[in-house]
């Protein structure tokens, strides 16, 4: 069974470290990639498409990031969707509980869910189960 491919995109390196560590504790059958801004993460997805590599099944995407923020990532991701051969489930992960952000998130069909930090182990299990059922 191939590993489930998880992509973490956040400019907070401690968050990346902690979430990666939590995921590793949940399952050994996960391939985890991390990027500190939306621009680099998009480059990675573009590479996956161009080289025929497996796309991430789950992306945990931060909103506020330098270079390209979560909203900018989602807009440009939309342009790549037609070239994708497998579904990609994007969860917007943010510290913001602002209603305006939640409303804006509803404008993006690309989003599977909206998660408020901190991201607990239970929440990660819930996401993995929702996407992969018990195949992880």
Q: Contact positions toward another protein, by CB under 8 A?
A: 12-15, 17-18, 21-22, 39, 64, 66-69, 72, 94-96, 98, 117-120
Q: What is the DSSP letter of 68?
A: S
| Nearest distance from C-beta of residue 95 to another protein, angstroms | 4
| Nearest distance from C-beta of residue 12 to another protein, angstroms | 5
Q: CA 119, 121, 122, 125: dihedral to nearest 10 degrees?
A: 100
Q: Which is nearer to another protein, 89 or 117 (by Cβ)? A: 117
Phi-psi region of 52 (alpha: psi -120 to 50; beta: other; left: phi over 0): left
Q: Which is nearer to another protein, 57 or 74 (by Cβ)? A: 74
Where do we find the tokens 């931060």?
62
| Nearest distance from C-beta of residue 29 to another protein, angstroms | 21
Whether 64 and 14 have beta carbons less than 8 Å apart is answered as no
Backbone angles phi, psi at 16, to 5 degrees: -60, -45
Determine the 3-state secondary structure of 3 from DSSP: coil
| Nearest distance from C-beta of residue 111 to another protein, angstroms | 18
Q: Which is nearer to another protein, 65 or 131 (by Cβ)? A: 65
Q: Which is nearer to another protein, 57 or 93 (by Cβ)? A: 93
């Amino acid at each position: 069974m191939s590993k489930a491919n998880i992509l973490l995109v956040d400019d907070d390196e401690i968050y990346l470290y902690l979430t990666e560590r939590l995921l590793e504790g949940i399952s050994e059958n996960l391939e985890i990639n991390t990027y500190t801004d939306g621009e680099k993460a998009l480059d990675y997805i573009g590479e996956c498409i161009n080289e025929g590599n497996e796309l991430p099944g789950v992306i945990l995407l931060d909103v506020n990031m330098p270079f390209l923020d979560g909203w900018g990532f989602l807009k440009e991701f939309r342009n790549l969707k037609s070239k994708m051969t497998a579904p990609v489930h994007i969860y917007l992960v943010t510290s913001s509980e602002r209603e305006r952000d939640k409303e804006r998130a509803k404008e993006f069909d690309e989003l599977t869910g909206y998660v408020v930090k901190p991201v607990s182990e239970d929440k990660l299990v819930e996401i993995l189960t929702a996407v992969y059922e018990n195949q992880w």
